[in-house]
Structure 1
Amino acid sequence: MDVESAEIGELAEHVAAWENGVDPAEVDSTQRRRAYVSLHQTHLPRLDDAGVLTYESTREEIELTETGENLSVYMDVVPGDDIPWSEFYLGLAGFSAALMTVAWLNYYPFSIGPDAAYGLGIVALFAVTSLVHVVRARRTRLGTGDAPPTTR
């Protein structure tokens, strides 16, 4: 299914598959029709009114608008037992500042190496954690799995 445009029938098939916990190929006509009617009469007109997509009841295709594309930033799923990344990076910055302070004051064992080495280590630490952040965000992004998070 194309992200920027889709046929209503194809969308209804995917929604019915998610709702019933089956593959799209296993959706029967009753399940598909129920999802189609709900999309056609309720959800798509409301999304069209909100400017998220363009939908005309006489056409069988819907298209994502620029507003809809801009909503993708809100589609990340954050697990309930996870700390927000903003707090993680704040803690990492505090740890890095403490490390650089101790290295600058030449406390043992930080007096052994040059301060630049600790600075490079901190840059590497931020780079690795940022890479982990990007990978996790892509894995938990809404719409990347087989089913919406609420029906798993």
Structure 2
Amino acid sequence: MTITDDRPTGSVTAPSIDDSTDEEPTELSRDDVFHILQTQRRRDAIAYLLSIDGAVEMRDIAEYVAAKENDTTIDDLTSSQRQRVYIALYQSHLPKLDKEGIIDYNKSRGIVWPTDQLSLFAPYLETETEPEPADADRGEYNVYYAAVTALSAVLLSASAIGALAISGVALGTIITALFLLVTILSQYS
């Protein structure tokens, strides 16, 4: 989603010397990166900026984030959904990203330019992809773990009220063996 033809025309260029500050972008620590990624709106905005090439209107970012946040398409967004996200990005999130040197944000023109710092966030956002086929089968073993946990609770309860005449050591061995079996099955399947 880049600048489209249905919007006011005029080229969007990189910021000139007058648009940017004299401050050198500071090196971001891992804590800084995690702090910036702390909110879902910033994560979504950064993910969008990583997916485009060049400058973009702030409105495009807001629409993308609002659509993702409301689990809908940009065309189906309501005015209030757009506005709620737009205001938060305009007042808080984009100025923060600009201050940290992750983007160049011309607030008065509503234009955002990604900087080289933006690429630092790519590895942290790649985890939000679909699970690999090998990981998809893990859900089956979660059911087995739940079943073993429930069976263990029943055995422990029966033993505690005297309905099961078995020693504590034997009961512990049985429960441990059940969990070990499920763990081995999940690792080698």
TM-score where L is the length of structure 1: 0.48
Higher RCO, 1 vs 2 (CA within 8 Å, ≥6 residues apart): 1
TM-score where L is the length of structure 2: 0.39
Query: Of the two, which has the highest radius of gyration?
Result: 2
